[in-house]
Structure 1
Amino acid sequence: MYDEIVKLISNVGFPIAVSIYLLVKLDKRLEEIIIILSAMEHRERERRP
């Protein structure tokens, strides 16, 4: 994995490599947040008459 990171940095540059890393790491968390918000919206709709 370390070799892949070094190749990525040498090919596209440090800022782009960091951006890709952050997008990959945050993607899973964003999906979890979307699921939680959808569940909250569903509960709120059930509570309304």
Structure 2
Amino acid sequence: MTEISEVFGFIKDFGFPVVLSWFLLVRMENKLASLTDVIGELSCNIAAMRGESTKRQA
């Protein structure tokens, strides 16, 4: 009987945080992917703007 309660103790102590972390990472994965795309577009736009500003000064 003690072994079963030890197993449940491990599940309670370690299982819940692992499952919660996994759930949150899965939910945030799409948001992180879209943020990565937007940051890439932003860097391209900044590079294009810098190119235009140097052409205007020349």
Could you tell me the TM-score, scaled by structure 2's length? 0.61
Alpha-carbon separation, structure 2, partners of 1:13 and 1:48: 51
Name stretches of at least 5 consecutive residues in structure 2 with no aligned partner: 1-10, 52-58
User: Match of 1:31?
Assistant: 33
User: Match of 2:23?
Assistant: 21
1:40 Cα deviation from its structure 2 partner: 0.5
Aligned length: 40
Identical aligned residues as a percent: 25
CA RMSD of aligned residues (A): 1.8
Could you tell me the TM-score, scaled by structure 1's length? 0.71
Mapping for residues 2-13 of structure 1, pairs under 5 Å: 13=15
Structure 1 consecutive aligned stretches of length 4 or more whose deviation exceeds 4 Å: none
Q: Please list the CA deviations of residues 1-36 of structure 1 after superposition, one character each: whole Å capped at 9, or x if unmatched.
A: xxxxxxxx78x6111000000010011100000101
Q: Which has the higher contact order (CA 8 A, sep 6+)?
A: 1
Which has the larger helix fraction? 2
